[in-house]
Chains A and B, each alone.
Chain A
Amino acid sequence: MTARLLRLRGLIRKEGLQILRDPSSIAIAFILPAMLLMLFGYGVSLDARNVALGLVVEQKSAAAASLTAQFRHSPYFAPQDFASAAAVQQALSRGRIEGFIWLQGDFARQLSAGHDPQIGLFVDGVNANNARLIENYVQQSWADWAAQQGAKTAIAVQPRIWFNPAVSSRDYLVPGLIAVIMTLTGALLTAMVIAREWERGTMEALMVTRVSMDEILVSKIIPYFLLGMGGMVVAVLIAVGLFGVPLLGSLLVLGLAASLFMLASLGMGLLISTVAKNQFVAGQIAIITTFLPAFILSGFIFDISSMPVPIQWLTHIVAARYFVAILQTLFLAGTVWSVLVPNLFALLMMAVFFLGAARLAARKRLD
């Protein structure tokens, strides 16, 4: 074995032992991703389910019963009956229900007379997002019901939703979350472990041996690349296995994209570590420059096209943005090359840029 390979082996083995012995790196690589996935998968949802919806039926009729049944059987609504308009208004203003439907006394007569029947929908507008969702759901249910009745009522808009037919925000969030999670292992963990070497004085000892800076960098990249990809596999398994998110695209492309993103993240982590020589500062910089942008500016939660234009420009320097686009495409739409190729290219550029910058910034000196 050449001296160079021997040194590299020693460094990588050391890194591996440290990962195995240090519970915090295992936690960041595996437990934190699992926790974030659980939190977002189960807790946070952009869908409205079991909406507390008030029902006021002024005059009972077969038509009214069949319409309310439509709501009662929907998974989106948890309807409650109210005797009068006054009672339901009070419930809404007290926040006990999120909206109500008002079937006026002449509902059945209007319907049988062949007029377009009117129903009243009142929604609590405090949470605008929720209000819009409820409005859409009610309209959808109403249109469905009307179609079933075969009435010659005006046919409501028939929305068609592509790529996420279940319109489940979980299917949409979980792939994006994988990008955020990989940023954690890539940039945060790497920046922290190098800062730890500075703090404990081991970096100084390493630098005086015949080890070259390239060897030190490679010995950090390889173990944390593997660790990050391990975290990625766990996240994908949880996404597909536990949450039932479809994975329509090619696994090979997913692996390629994840590798490129991981390299870009590692490059950022290494770059941060050339500036930050203690773990606290390294952690702060990594969170502000990589984790938060991945969360906010990647399009994972907040739609990029609805951001102000200057902020949209800013998103172009966030590597997670490209990876989120790739992940959402691969999971929900399949291997759509026209979307994948530009994003993969952008990731490649970012990986080259950050790794190159980290190499240039790394000096085998203390000044």
Chain B
Amino acid sequence: MVVAAMPAPNEPEPDSAKPLVIAGITRHFHIGKRLVTALDKVSASTAPGLVTGLIGPDGAGKTTLMRLIAGLLRADAGSIHVFGTDVRAAPLVVQGMISYMPQRFGLYEDLTVGENLDLYADLQGVATAARAARYAELLHMTGLADFTARLAGRLSGGMKQKLGLACTLIRPPRLLLLDEPTVGVDPVSRRELWQIVDHLVRKAGMSVLLSTAYLDEAERCDEVLLLHEGQLIGSGQPGDFTQAMAGRSFQVRAPGRSKRALQAALAPLAGVTDAVIQGEAVRLVLDAHTLPATISPPGFDDLRITPAAPRFEDRFVDLLRGKTGATAAVMPVAAEIIAPVAAEAVIEAVHLVKQFGAFTAVDDISFSVRRGEIFGLLGANGAGKSTTFRMLCGLLPATSGHLRVDGYDLRHATATARGRLGYMAQKFSLYGDLSVMQNLRFFAAAYGLSRQRRAERIGWALREFELAPLADATSRDLPLGFKQRMALACALMHEPDVLFLDEPTSGVDPLARREFWQRINALAERGVTVLVTTHFMDEAEYCDRLVIMAQGRILAAGTSEALKQAARTASQPEPSMEDAFIALIMADSAKTTGQAA
């Protein structure tokens, strides 16, 4: 043990004031026959009394790093010191200083809120006399005081998350590790969680390491570590990241022209780092040497370019572009064929209701989607999105109301009618054991394409989605971005007129997300109608119009711009989509309590 505790000559001196000193951490995993490098020589350190964000998309290595810090995994190389103690040499000492909330909270669902607290109080050695006061404080902080006798399994997602946090805080740790605490949590609970974390840092002087795939959360951290594919690609204060982008972000409008055509024209231009649709405009990020005046996409004469506040995400994209050398135009988009958005409604839901016993999952909703439109259903988990989705796909009968997809009620329609619909599920329902080619062949056959047509479409998919080099790779082992491409290729195998996407890009890295939406935009331009369900505020920005759902009802409908405008107040002149969402939820719950009183 003595040998292990002695620092190697080239390691930094353990610093007992710093919560974390990570030096050259490398960790590999075997996935099937493939050796995957989860972390590649990562070195970083954090300062005490701050919230440090560990930011990166799914598969960046965030959870692996958390587990290494908590002593649950061993590094292949490098060292981690927590307040000067080597994790490898003395894991129990480190575990006495930290608290760790894993992604799945670690709650016992068949124990009540109070019993979960008791268990963790016993485990953390909290003296019996001190418990009452500590429980009261934690329950007050998390708003769970009225639910101590409720089974943890019966709590909502946000409440479970808060209980998980209360359990990890039962004995105030010096370093708190939170692994994606805000994933799958509704925006209101997400905001509350952040308030708790801020409170802990400010009042109790705790140091927090929090991982997240949501880039908008970076700006709430005091400092951030930016991970991508196992490498640390940046660290520092989030303000510095955004500051580096000052004067490089703009909003571009071309009156009378489609925003998608504009985006497609801007993206391939030299000097453009990023071009994404945001509401009715295109958000443009230029590289450091390009001036906005020099931007002139062919065919667009009347451009209105206004400066915009830089975002954290701009810097992330900038860093990734610098790393990979990729340009904003990920693929040649066939944007010439611009079909005018026809007024005809392709998807129609009229007074749609779905009841499960006494529970109303979908409560009288109506909306219609026009041809070539990208339409979003935005809401937290449990808002009724999936139920609506299933009714539209014809998988679930509606209790009452009418619905039509491309002229058919899919509940009673023939296979031909269903064949006009493409569907991409949240976790990409592909056959993991089959190769890319075998998956494509299977889906082509499942959609009943003729032999010749099959060959054509498979060729198209391999070309269009750049899957040819990976044709023989096992799907399970593909990186997330490629899985997503393949899932989309499979959903488009039969050239559907209507495309259903279920949380298509949550957790995917920003470049893969841009690439994905660029393809979707191109499809919409060609007249494909796209319906997206998501709880991810970012995805809402890509939609032409959207509805916000909560508790089975539609709270608001319109363009993302209009929805944000409605939430504008004196204190919030530039509300984000999330602000708009929270404002709507708050107003709604105030109304329902008002009615009940």
Q: Kindly state whether residue B123 has any CB partner on chain A within 8 Å.
A: yes
Checking B100, B118, B121 against A208 with a beta-carbon cut-off of 8 angstroms, the contacting residue is B100
Q: Given the interface contacts A22-B110, A210-B92, A210-B95, does A365 sit within 8 Å of B123 by beta carbon?
A: no
Decide: A208 near B98, CB < 8 A? Known: A7-B122, A18-B110, A366-B72: yes
For B111-140 the 0/1 string (1 means CB < 8 A from A) is: 100010011111111000000000000000
- Majority-rule SS of A interface residues: helix
Q: Mark B148-178, 1 if CB is under 8 A from A, else 0.
A: 0000000000000000000110000000000
Q: How distant is A136 from chain B, measured CB to nearest CB, in Å?
A: 55
Residues of the A chain whose Cβ atoms lie less than 8 Å from the Cβ of B107 = 202, 205
Interface string of A242-271 (1 = CB under 8 A from B): 000000000000000000000000000000
Q: Are B122 and A205 in contact (CB under 8 A)?
A: no
The answer on a CB contact under 8 Å between B96 and A205 is no
When C-beta atoms are compared, the residue in chain B nearest to A203 turns out to be: B106
Does A11 have its Cβ within 8 Å of any Cβ on chain B? yes
Do B110 and A7 have beta carbons less than 8 Å apart? no
- B residues less than 8 Å from A204 (CB atoms): 67, 72, 102, 104, 106
Cβ < 8 Å to B, chain A residues 1-55: 3, 6-7, 9-11, 13-14, 17-18, 21-22
The answer to whether B108 and A209 touch across the interface, beta carbons within 8 angstroms, is no
Are A17 and B115 CB-contacts (below 8 A) given A365-B72, A366-B67? yes
B118 CB to closest chain A CB (Å) equals 7
Decide: B115 and A206 in contact? CB cutoff 8 A.
no
A123 to B: closest C-beta gap in Å: 55
Q: Are B72 and A206 in contact, CB atoms less than 8 angstroms apart?
A: no
Known: A210-B124, A365-B71, A367-B73. A205 touches B111 (CB 8 A): no
The answer to whether the Cβ of A94 comes within 8 Å of any Cβ in the partner chain is: no
The reply to whether B96 and A210 form a contact with Cβ atoms under 8 Å apart is: yes
Nearest opposing residue in chain A for B92, CB measure: A210
Q: Which residue of A lies closest to B170 (CB)?
A: A209
B119 contacts A201, C-beta separation under 8 Å:
no
Contact of A201 with B104 in the complex, beta carbons under 8 Å: yes
Judge if B13 is at the interface, Cβ distance under 8 Å.
Answer: no
Pair A6/B122 contact, Cβ less than 8 Å: yes
A206 to B125, CA, bound (A): 13
- Decide if B522 is an interface residue (CB 8 Å cutoff): no
Q: Which residue of B lies closest to A365 (CB)?
A: B72
| Given A6-B125, A10-B121: A212 touches B103 (CB 8 Å cut-off) | no
Interface residues on A, range: 20 to 34
| A365 CB to nearest chain B CB (Å) | 5
Determine if B362 is an interface residue (Cβ-Cβ < 8 Å). no
Q: How far is the CA of A210 from the CA of B98 in the complex (A)?
A: 10
Which residues of chain B are within 8 angstroms of A73 by Cβ–Cβ distance? none
Q: Scoring A residues 321 to 340 as 1 if CB is less than 8 Å from chain B, else 0, what string do you get?
A: 00000000000000000000
Expressed in whole angstroms, the Cα–Cα distance for A200 and B120 within the complex equals 16
Q: Is residue A277 contacting chain B, with contact meaning CB distance below 8 A?
A: no
Cβ of A233 under 8 Å from chain B: no
Write out the residue numbers on chain B whose beta carbons fall within 8 Å of the beta carbon of A3. 125
Q: Does B110 contact A202, Cβ atoms closer than 8 Å?
A: no
The answer on a CB contact under 8 Å between B108 and A202 is yes
Q: State whether B108 touches A14 (Cβ < 8 A).
A: yes
- One of B67, B74, B105, B124 near A209 (C-beta < 8 A): B124
The answer to whether A205 touches B74, judged by C-beta atoms less than 8 angstroms apart, is: no
Kindly provide the distance from the CB of A338 to the nearest chain B CB, expressed in whole angstroms: 48
| Residue with the greatest number of chain A CB neighbours at <10 A, chosen from B92, B108, B115, B120 | B108
Q: Are B104 and A210 in contact (CB under 8 A)?
A: no
Question: In whole angstroms, what is the CA distance A21 to B102 when docked?
Answer: 25
In the complex, whether A240 has a CB less than 8 A from a CB of chain B is no
Residues of chain B with a CB closer than 8 A to A366's CB: 67, 72-73
User: Smallest Cβ distance from A203 to chain B, in angstroms?
Assistant: 8
Residues of chain A lying within 8 A (CB to CB) of residue B96 = 210
- Residues of chain A within 8 A (CB-CB) of B119 are 10-11, 13-14
- By a CB distance below 8 angstroms, the chain B residues around A7 are 122-123, 125
> Given contacts A17-B115, A200-B109, A204-B106, is CB(A11)–CB(B95) below 8 Å?
no
A359 contacts chain B at the CB level, 8 A cutoff = no
Contacts of A210 in B (CB 8 A): 92, 95-96, 123-125
* Contact (Cβ within 8 A) A17 B110: yes
Is B106's CB under 8 angstroms from A9's CB? no
Q: How far is the CB of A274 from chain B (nearest CB, A)?
A: 15
- Give the Cβ gap from A30 to chain B, nearest Cβ, in Å: 18
Do the beta carbons of B106 and A202 come within 8 Å of each other? yes
A209 and B120 form a contact (CB under 8 A): yes
B122 touches A10 (CB 8 A): yes
Residue of A7, A207, A209, A366 contacting most chain B CB atoms (<10 Å)? A209
A3 to B96, CA, bound (A): 12
CA distance A192 to B282 in the complex (A): 54
Q: State in angstroms the CA–CA spacing of A211 and B96 once bound together.
A: 10
Contact B71 A206 (CB under 8 A): no
The yes or no answer to B91 lying at the interface (CB within 8 A) is yes
Q: Which residue of B lies closest to A209 (CB)?
A: B123
- Tell yes or no: B499 within 8 A of A by CB: no
Q: Is B492 an interface residue (CB 8 A)?
A: no
Q: Report the minimal beta-carbon distance from A11 to chain B, rounded to whole angstroms.
A: 7
A4 to B535, CA, bound (A): 44
Q: How far is the CA of A44 from the CA of B74 in the complex (A)?
A: 54
Query: How far apart sit A42 and B124, CA to CA, in the bound complex (Å)?
Result: 52
**A10–B111 Cα gap in the complex (Å)?**
12
| New contact pairs (6) apart from A21-B111, A210-B95, CB-CB < 8 Å | A6-B125, A7-B122, A201-B104, A202-B107, A204-B102, A366-B73
Q: Which 5 A-B pairs have the closest CB atoms?
A: A205-B106, A10-B122, A201-B104, A208-B100, A3-B125
A interface residues with partner B (beta carbon < 8 Å): 3, 6-7, 9-11, 13-14, 17-18, 21-22, 200-202, 204-212, 364-367
Task: List chain B positions with a Cβ less than 8 A from chain A.
Answer: 67, 70-74, 91-92, 95-96, 98-111, 115, 118-125, 167-168
Residue pairs across A and B with Cβ atoms less than 8 A apart, 22 shown, are A3-B125, A6-B122, A7-B122, A10-B118, A10-B121, A13-B119, A14-B108, A14-B115, A17-B110, A17-B111, A22-B110, A200-B104, A200-B108, A201-B102, A201-B103, A205-B101, A205-B105, A206-B123, A208-B102, A209-B95, A209-B123, A365-B73
